[in-house]
A and B are shown apart, each in its own frame.
Chain A
Amino acid sequence: MAVTLGGMTDETTAVLADGLRKRYGPTTALDGFDLVVPAGTVCGVLGPNGAGKTTAVRILTTLLRFDGGRARVAGHDVATRPQRVREAIGLTGQYAAVDEVLSGRQNLVLFGRLRRLPARAARRRADELLDRFGLAPVADRSAGTYSGGMRRRLDLAASLVVPPRVLFLDEPTTGLDPRSRNGLWTAVRDLVADGTTVLLTTQYLQEADQLADRVCVVDAGRVVAEGTPDQLKARIGADRVELVVRRSADVPVAAAVLERITGAAVRVDGELRRVQAPVTDRIAVLTAVLRALSDAGIAVEDVLVRRPTLDEAFLLLTGHRAESDDRAGVAV
Chain B
Amino acid sequence: MTALTDGWLMAGRNLRHVVRSPEEIVLYFSLPIMFVLVFGYVFGSGMAVPGHGSYREFLLPGVFVMTMLYGLGATASAIAVDAGRGVVDRFRSLPMARSALLSGRAGADLVRACLEMATLVVCGLLVGWRWREGVVAALAAVALLLLLRVALTWVGVLLGLLVPNPDTVGVVVFPLAFPLTALSNVFVAPELMPEWLGAVAAWNPLSATVAAVRDLFGNPGVGADSWPARHALLLAIAWPLALMAVAAPAAVRRYQRLGR
**Interface residue from B13, B92, B95, B260 paired with A110 (Cβ < 8 Å):** B13
**Interface residue from A64, A84, A110, A159 paired with B259 (Cβ < 8 Å):** A64
Q: In the bound complex, how far is the Cα of B256 from the Cα of A62, in angstroms?
A: 11
Min Cβ gap B102→A in Å is 14
When A63-B260, A100-B85 are in contact, do A114 and B92 touch as well, CB less than 8 Å? Answer: no
B21 contacts chain A at the CB level, 8 A cutoff = yes
Min Cβ gap B27→A in Å is 16
Q: Which chain A residues lie closer than 8 Å to B90 at the CB level?
A: 91, 97-98, 111, 158-159
Q: Which chain B residues lie closer than 8 Å to A62 at the CB level?
A: 92-93
A228 contacts chain B at the CB level, 8 A cutoff = no
A186 contacts chain B at the CB level, 8 A cutoff = no
Q: Which of A101-116 contact B (CB under 8 A)?
A: 101-102, 106, 110-111, 113-115
Contact status B20-A101, CB under 8 Å: yes
A77 contacts chain B at the CB level, 8 A cutoff = no
Q: Which chain B residues lie closer than 8 Å to A86 at the CB level?
A: 93-95
Contact status A95-B16, CB under 8 Å: no
Q: Which of B88-102 contact A (CB under 8 A)?
A: 88-96, 100
Q: Which chain B residues lie closer than 8 Å to A95 at the CB level?
A: 86
A180 contacts chain B at the CB level, 8 A cutoff = no
B9 contacts chain A at the CB level, 8 A cutoff = yes
**Residues 36-71 of chain A: 1 if any B CB is under 8 Å from the residue's CB, otherwise 0?**
000000000000000000000000011111000000
Number of chain A interface residues as a range: 20 to 34
Contact status B86-A97, CB under 8 Å: yes
**Interface residue from A63, A83, A91, A106 paired with B95 (Cβ < 8 Å):** A83
Q: Which chain A residues lie closer than 8 Å to B100 at the CB level?
A: 114
B6 contacts chain A at the CB level, 8 A cutoff = yes
**Number of interface residues, chain B, beta carbon within 8 A:** 23
Contact status A63-B89, CB under 8 Å: yes
Contact status A64-B95, CB under 8 Å: no
Contact status A114-B94, CB under 8 Å: yes
Q: In the bound complex, how far is the Cα of B109 from the Cα of A213, in angstroms?
A: 49
Contact status B16-A106, CB under 8 Å: yes
B17 contacts chain A at the CB level, 8 A cutoff = yes
Chain B minimum-CB-distance residue to A61: B93
Counting chain A CB atoms within 10 Å of each CB, the highest count among B16, B92, B95 belongs to B95
Q: Which chain A residues lie closer than 8 Å to B126 at the CB level?
A: none
Q: In the bound complex, how far is the Cα of B142 from the Cα of A116, in angstroms?
A: 35
Contact status B93-A102, CB under 8 Å: no
Q: In the bound complex, how far is the Cα of B95 from the Cα of A152, in angstroms?
A: 22
B87 contacts chain A at the CB level, 8 A cutoff = yes
Q: Which of A140-162 contact B (CB under 8 A)?
A: 142, 158-159
**Interface residue from A84, A93, A96, A115 paired with B94 (Cβ < 8 Å):** A115
Min Cβ gap A68→B in Å is 15
The number of residue pairs between A and B whose CB atoms lie closer than 8 Å in the complex comes to 67
Min Cβ gap A76→B in Å is 11
Q: In the bound complex, how far is the Cα of B95 from the Cα of A84, in angstroms?
A: 7
Q: In the bound complex, how far is the Cα of B260 from the Cα of A89, in angstroms?
A: 19
Q: Which of A189-219 contact B (CB under 8 A)?
A: none
Q: Which chain A residues lie closer than 8 Å to B86 at the CB level?
A: 93, 95-98
Contact status A100-B259, CB under 8 Å: no
Q: In the bound complex, how far is the Cα of B6 from the Cα of A101, in angstroms?
A: 19
Min Cβ gap A167→B in Å is 12
Q: In the bound complex, how far is the Cα of B260 from the Cα of A84, in angstroms?
A: 18
A18 contacts chain B at the CB level, 8 A cutoff = no
Contact status B20-A89, CB under 8 Å: no
When A64-B259, A115-B94 are in contact, do A101 and B89 touch as well, CB less than 8 Å? Answer: no
Q: Which chain B residues lie closer than 8 Å to A84 at the CB level?
A: 95
Q: Which of B7-27 contact A (CB under 8 A)?
A: 9, 12-13, 16-17, 20-21
Q: Which chain B residues lie closer than 8 Å to A115 at the CB level?
A: 94-96
A99 contacts chain B at the CB level, 8 A cutoff = yes
Contact status A101-B21, CB under 8 Å: yes
Q: In the bound complex, how far is the Cα of B43 from the Cα of A315, in angstroms?
A: 76
Q: Which chain B residues lie closer than 8 Å to A111 at the CB level?
A: 90, 94
**Interface residue from A64, A93, A158 paired with B260 (Cβ < 8 Å):** A64
Counting chain B CB atoms within 10 Å of each CB, the highest count among A61, A62, A63 belongs to A63
Chain A minimum-CB-distance residue to B14: A101
Min Cβ gap B218→A in Å is 43
Q: In the bound complex, how far is the Cα of B90 from the Cα of A65, in angstroms?
A: 16
Contact status B20-A63, CB under 8 Å: no
Q: In the bound complex, how far is the Cα of B86 from the Cα of A63, in angstroms?
A: 12
Q: Residues of B with Cβ closer than 8 Å to A?
A: 6, 9, 12-13, 16-17, 20-21, 85-96, 100, 259-260
Q: Identify the 3 closest CB pairs spanning chains A and B, nearest first.
A: A97-B90, A86-B95, A87-B95
Q: List 15 A-B contacts (CB under 8 A).
A: A63-B92, A63-B93, A64-B260, A65-B260, A91-B90, A97-B86, A100-B87, A101-B17, A102-B13, A106-B13, A111-B94, A114-B6, A114-B9, A114-B91, A159-B90
